[in-house]
Amino acid sequence: MNGKPYTCKAYREEMILVGLRKRLNDDGLTEAEKASIKSEIKALEKKMGLD
């Protein structure tokens, strides 16, 4: 790891990210829904320092 303690908040953010990525692969999403999910993923990745 990067020397920072692994917190409940970090775990929660990771699980949210996993869920968003899974939703993005679901069939039946409109382009608007896909764009919204992609935006959420980008924002969360930036918050987590993964960008």
pLDDT in tens, 29-51: 999 999 999 999 999 999 999 88
What 3-state class would DSSP assign to 26? coil
pLDDT recorded at residue 3: 74
In the predicted structure, residue 4 carries a pLDDT above the cut 90: no
Q: In which band, very low, low, confident or very high, does the pLDDT at 1 lie, cut at 50, 70 and 90?
A: low
Overall residue count recorded for the chain in this entry: 51
Domain regions of the chain by residue span: 1-20+30-51
pLDDT recorded at residue 6: 87
Quote the tokens at residue 19.
């869920």
What 3-state class would DSSP assign to 1? coil
Average pLDDT (21-35) is 96
